[in-house]
Every structure is written in structure tokens, then in C-alpha cells.
Amino acid sequence: MGSHEEKLSILSEMIAFARVDHSLKQSEYDFLLKVADSLGVSKAIFNGLLKQKSPKVRLKTQAERIVQFHRLILLMNIDREQHKKEIHTLYNIGLKMGLPPSAISQVLQVMHRYPNNIVPPDVLINIFKAHYN
């Protein structure tokens, strides 16, 4: 994984996305805390990000962007609720990351075929591979 700044940026983006509906549910907080731990970010630093965003750092590789997009899909579905605003925001985040619009749309469509809308990583990767060929 990237630098400490990249990790904080990833978490800040995820926190902002979780708050699209103007709240941060306990299930979302718990999920975000697990992501922070997997990135090697302490709980204290993570909690600081809840109060103050980290500067945005663009992820360098396409693979990192796809992984972040997948994290955001998981976060959106953690509370088993989806709102149009969340889907629209996620789509726009994917576009800003430079992901192909058609791949983003396809992922958002196929996620409903899987339990809890959790797209398996291999399915997600294959969708993006198909759009890059």
C-alpha cells in the first residue's frame, strides 16, 4: 500500500462517503475502523479523521483505485440500505478516480445479484478488465 498520506486520504474519502446521508451509523464506523486497522492507521488517528479531513491524494495505480471503489461499495452496503444519493455519489467518485463509466455502471447493476450486494473481488476485477481491453 502507499504512503501514510494516501492511507489517510483513502479513509477521509470513505468517511465523507459514509456521511452522504448525513449520519455515520455504528456499522459504518466499525467497518471504517477495520479498514483503518488493515491500512495500519491507529484508532486515535482514525477518530481524528472524523473531525478533520485529510488532504486528498490521488491513488497512483488503477488497481489501487479499483480496490478503493470496491471498499466504497462494501461501505455503501454495510447497513443494507442504498439511497439514490449514495449510488450517484459513488458513481461520481468512480469517475473522478478515472474509472470507466461503463464499468462503474455495470458493477452497480451486478451487485444486486449477490448476497448483501457484495460483489466478489474476482467479478469486480473481471468487469474492469473487460472495459480496459
Tell me the per-residue pLDDT of 35-78, one tens digit each, with 9 for 90 and over.
Answer: 999 999 999 999 999 998 888 888 888 999 999 999 999 999 88
User: 80 pLDDT band (50/70/90 cuts)?
Assistant: confident
Q: What is 72-118 written as a DSSP string?
A: HHHHHHTTS---HHHHHHHHHHHHHHT--HHHHHHHHHHGGGSGGG-
User: 100 pLDDT band (50/70/90 cuts)?
Assistant: very high
C-alpha to C-alpha distance for 71 and 61, rounded to whole angstroms: 16
- Say if CB 16 and CB 53 are below 8 A apart: yes
